[in-house]
Structure 1
Amino acid sequence: MTSTAESVHAAFERRAATFPDAVALSMSGRCVTYAELNARANQLARHLRGKGVDVETPVGVCTERSVDTVVALIAVLKAGGHYVALDPRQPRERHELLTAEAGIRLILTQELLLARVSGLTDVLVLDSDALELTGLSTTDLALPVLPDHAAYVAYTSGSTGRPKGACITHRAVLRLVRSSNFLAVEPDDAFLMFAPLAFDASTLEIWAPLLGGARLAVAPPGAPSLAELAETVVRERVTVLWLTAGLFHQMAEGPMARMTTLRQLLAGGDVLSPHHVDRTFAALPGIRLVNGYGPTENTTFTCCHVMEAPAEGDTVPIGRPVTGTEVYVLDDRLRPVPDGESGELYAGGAGVARGYVGRPDLTADRFLPDPFGSEPGARMYRTGDLVRRRTDGVVEYLGRLDHQVKVRGFRIEPGEIETVLLAHPGVKDACVVVQTPTVAEKRLTAFYVCAENVAAVDLRELLRRSLPPYMVPAVFARLEALPLTRNGKVDRAALAARQIRERPETNADFRAARTPVERQVADLWADLMGLDEVGVDDDFFELGGDSLLVTRIVTDIAERYGVELRPRDLYLSSTVAELAEIIDKALSPGAPAPAPSGADAATTD
Structure 2
Amino acid sequence: MHHKQQHAERPGLNGTGHTTRPAARRAYDRDVAVHHIVAEIARIKPNATAISFGGVEMTYGVLDRTASKLAARLIAMGVRKGDIVGLLLPRAAKTLIAKLAILKAGAAYAPFDPAYPVDHLSYMVEDSAPRALMIDRDSASLAASLPIARGSLVDTDNALSEPAGDELRVAFPSIGGGDAAYVMYTSGSTGRPKGVVIPHRGIQRLVCDQNFVEFRPNDVVLHTATISFDAATFEIWGALLNGARLAGIADRTLSMQRVADTIDRERVSVMLLTTGLFNLLVDHPSGKLTSLRHVLFGGEVASSDHARRFLSARPGCVLTNVYGPTEVSCMASAFQIPADFAGDTVPIGYSIANNGTHILDDDLNVLPAGQEGQLAVSGDGLAIGYLNRPELTQERFVAITAKNGESLRCYLTGDRAVMDADGLLHFRGRRDRQVKIDGKRIELDEIENALRRDGHLADAVVECHQAGSAKRLVAYLRPKTVAGLDETDLAAAVFRRLKGVLPAHMVPGRAIVLQEFPMNRAGKVDRSRLPAPTEAPAAMAAAEGMEAIIARHWRRVLGIDTGGLDQNFFDLGGTSMQLMRVHAALEQELGRSIDVVSVFEHPKIRSLARFLENTPGSVQQSAAARSRAARQKRGMSQFRRSRQ
TM-score w.r.t. structure 2 length? 0.86
Kindly state the Cα deviation for residue 420 of structure 1 after the two structures are TM-superposed: 1.1
Question: What residue number does 2:311 align with?
Answer: 281
The AA in structure 1 aligned to 2:500 is R
Letter in 1 for 2:425: V
The partner residue of 2:573 within 532, 544, 549 is 544
Q: 2:116 aligns with which of 90, 101, 114?
A: 90
Map of 2:471 onto structure 1: 442
- Counterparts of residues 90-169 of structure 1 (less than 5 Å): 90-120=116-146, 121=148, 122-128=152-158, 132-137=162-167, 142-169=172-199
What is the match of residue 525 of structure 1? Answer: 554
Q: Which of 403, 423, 428 pairs up with 2:458?
A: 428
Q: Classify the secondary structure of the residue corresponding to 1:71.
A: helix
1:47 aligns with 2:73: yes
Q: Is the 8 A contact 1:23 1:215 kept in 2?
A: yes
User: Which of 571, 575, 582 in structure 1 is aligned with 2:611?
Assistant: 582
- Structure 1 residues 344 and 461: alpha-carbon distance in aligned structure 2, compared to 1, 3 A threshold: same
Q: Please state if 1:22 is matched with 2:43.
A: no
When residues 270 and 180 of structure 1 are mapped into structure 2, their CA distance, relative to the original with a 3 A threshold, is: same
**1:460 aligned partner:** 495
Partner of 1:316: 346
CA shift at 1:250, angstroms? Answer: 1.4
CA distance in structure 2 between the aligned counterparts of 1:34 and 1:9, rounded to whole angstroms: 12
CA offsets 1:521-570 (integer angstroms, 9 cap, x no match): 23432343233332222222222222112212212222222342222112
Q: Distance in 2 between matches of 1:83 and 1:201?
A: 15
- Residues 185, 195 of structure 2: 8 Å contact kept: yes
CA distance in 2, matches of 1:393, 1:590: 56
Distance 1:84 1:595, change over 3 A: farther
In the TM superposition, what whole-angstrom CA distance separates every residue of 1:315-354 from its partner, at most 9, and x where no partner exists? 1111111111111111111111111110111111111111
Counterparts of 2:403 and 2:381 in 1: how far apart (Å)? 13
SS at match of 2:102: helix
Residue number among 512, 520, 524 corresponding to 1:477 in the alignment: 512
Q: Tell me what 2:6 maps to.
A: none
d(CA) in 2 for partners of 1:241, 1:140: 37
Deviation at 1:356, TM superposition (A): 0.6
Are the counterparts in 2 of residues 367 and 379 from structure 1 also a CA contact under 8 Å? yes
Distance verdict in 2 for CA 1:321–1:314, change over 3 Å: same
What is the letter of the counterpart of residue 537 of structure 1? D
Q: 1:6 aligns to what?
A: 32
Pick from 417, 442, 455: which aligns with 1:387?
417
The 3 A distance-change label for structure 1 pair 130 and 175 is closer
Shift of 1:458: 2.3
SS in structure 1 of the partner of residue 570 of structure 2: coil
Shift in Å, 1:305 = 0.9
Q: Output one character per residue of 1:60-103: Cα deviation in whole Å (capped at 9) or x when no partner.
A: 00111111111000000000000000001101111110011011
CA distance in 2, matches of 1:270, 1:291: 10
Deviations 1:126-154 (A, max 9, x none): 11379524224358955211211100001
The alpha-carbon distance between structure 1 residues 378 and 147, as it changes in their structure 2 partners (threshold 3 A), is farther
**How many Å separate the matches in 2 of 1:373 and 1:139?**
52
CA distance in 1, matches of 2:624, 2:525: 50
Matched, 1:500 2:496: no
Identity %: 34
Residue 426 of structure 1, CA deviation: 2.1
Confirm or deny: 8 A CA contact 1:172 1:353 kept in the other structure. Answer: yes
Q: Does the CA contact (< 8 Å) of 1:62 and 1:109 recur in 2?
A: yes
Structure 2 vs 1, CA of residues 131 and 18 (structure 1 numbering), >3 Å: closer, same or farther?
A: closer
Alignment of 1:129-278 (within 5 A): 132-137=162-167, 142-255=172-285, 258-278=288-308
- Correspondence for 1:73 among 99, 107, 112: 99
CA 585–594 in structure 1, closer or farther in 2 if over 3 Å, else same: farther
**Could you tell me which amino acid in structure 1 is paired with residue 422 of structure 2?**
D
Given the superposition, is the C-alpha separation of residues 335 and 550 from structure 1 closer, same or farther in structure 2, using an over 3 Å criterion? same
Deviation per CA, 1:417-454, whole angstroms, max 9, x where unpaired?
Answer: 01111112222222222222224x32222222224535
Q: Indicate if the aligned counterparts of 1:161 and 1:419 stay in contact, CA closer than 8 A.
A: yes
The answer to whether the Cα contact below 8 Å between 2:474 and 2:533 also exists between their aligned partners in 1 is no
**Shift of residue 499, structure 1, vs aligned partner:** 4.8
Residues of 2 paired with 1:591 and 1:248: CA distance? 31
Tell me, in whole angstroms, the C-alpha distance in 1 between the residues paired with 2:536 and 2:618.
Answer: 38
For 1:212, what is the secondary structure of its paired residue? coil
Aligned residue identity for 2:123: L
SS at match of 1:124: strand
> Does 2:594 correspond to 1:565?
yes
CA RMSD of aligned residues (A): 2.6
Structure 1 range deviating more: 113-122 or 43-52 = 113-122
CA deviation profile, 1:500-539 (whole Å, cap 9, x unmatched): 32249xxxxx796365222332343234323333222222
Larger mean CA deviation between 283-292 and 38-47 belongs to 283-292
Q: Structure 1 residues 559 and 3 mapped into 2: Cα distance closer, same or farther (>3 Å)?
A: closer
Contact 2:28 2:209 in 1 (8 A): no
CA 1:349 to 1:577, structure 2 compared with 1: closer, same or farther past 3 Å? same
Query: CA-to-partner distance for each residue in 1:173-204, whole Å, 9 max, x for gaps?
Result: 11111111111000111111111111111111
Paired residues of 2:462 and 2:475 also in contact (CA < 8 A):
yes
> 1:134/1:396 Cα in 2 relative to 1: closer, same or farther (>3 Å)?
same
Q: Give the stretch that moved more between structures: 293-302 or 277-286.
A: 277-286
**How far apart are residue 385 of structure 1 and its match?**
0.8
> Does structure 1 retain, via aligned residues, the 8 Å contact 2:106–2:172?
no
Q: Note the residue ranges of structure 1 that are not aligned, 5 or more in a row.
A: 505-509, 597-605
Given that 2:540 and 2:562 are in contact with CA atoms closer than 8 Å, whether structure 1 keeps it comes out as: no
Q: Distance in 2 between matches of 1:131 and 1:595?
A: 41
SS in 2 for 1:380: strand
Q: Normalization by structure 1: what TM-score?
A: 0.91
Could you say which residue in structure 2 is the equivalent of 1:61? Answer: 87
- Which amino acid in the other structure matches residue 366 of structure 2? P
Q: For residues 136 and 444 of structure 1, do their structure 2 counterparts lie closer, same or farther at Cα, with a shift above 3 Å needed? A: farther
State the partner residue of 2:12.
none
1:588 Cα shift?
A: 7.3
**1:284 and 1:136 mapped to 2: Cα distance?**
51
Task: Tell me the secondary structure at the aligned position of residue 177 of structure 2.
Answer: coil
Helix, strand or coil for the counterpart of 2:362? Answer: coil
